[in-house]
Amino acid sequence: MASRYPGARLAQTGAAQLLPGIKFQAKLTLDVREFIDGMPAELSAEVPDASTSSKKVREFDAALPLVRDVFPRPYALSRLPMRDISMQSVQGEQSDFSLYQGVWRMQPLPGCAPEGGDAMRLTYAVELRPSLPVPVALLEAKIATDLANNLKAIRSYAEAQTVAKRFSSE
């Protein structure tokens, strides 16, 4: 995949308190790639019929096996353009995950911002397989909570930049 889709390689270390007395720490090396026109079909999980309910799509996705180079699908409106950033653990590198891959998806939301502004939907999907026995449900819940906090921080930063830009131009 690296030769067809160039990007950057990052070393990452993370830690999470899953429960009192249970701390999980992980190290991994990630390949990060940008797809300006969205993730290519050959790298995306199979898509159910467009009329399928969100609940059925989640059930469908939950039943899919984890497969390297078949990325999870973040929530998206299929009629809007997408811009994706993928992250995937590097095979052969020492890691606390035998597989870690995810996608950040950005979509412009026309008509959802105040006049003269822009709005963007940012979603994320991740799938992982730890190398050692770990309570995966707790780990996923912690990642989801931390991710929500990270997204709120990104939104706050973006909103502050917008306000600062408005004041500096007045």
For the stretch 100-152, pLDDT in tens is 999 999 999 988 888 888 888 888 888 888 888 887 778 878 877 887 888 78
| CA–CA gap between residue 62 and residue 81 (Å, rounded) | 25
For the stretch 27-59, pLDDT in tens is 999 999 999 999 998 898 777 676 677 787 778
pTM of this structure: 0.76
Burial class of 63 by CB neighbour count within 10 A (0 to 12, 13 to 18, 19+): exposed
**What is the distance of C-alpha 164 from the center of its chain?**
28
Domain ranges of the chain: 8-133
Residue (of 63, 65, 61, 74) closest to 126 by Cα position: 74
User: For residue 6, is pLDDT > 90?
Assistant: no
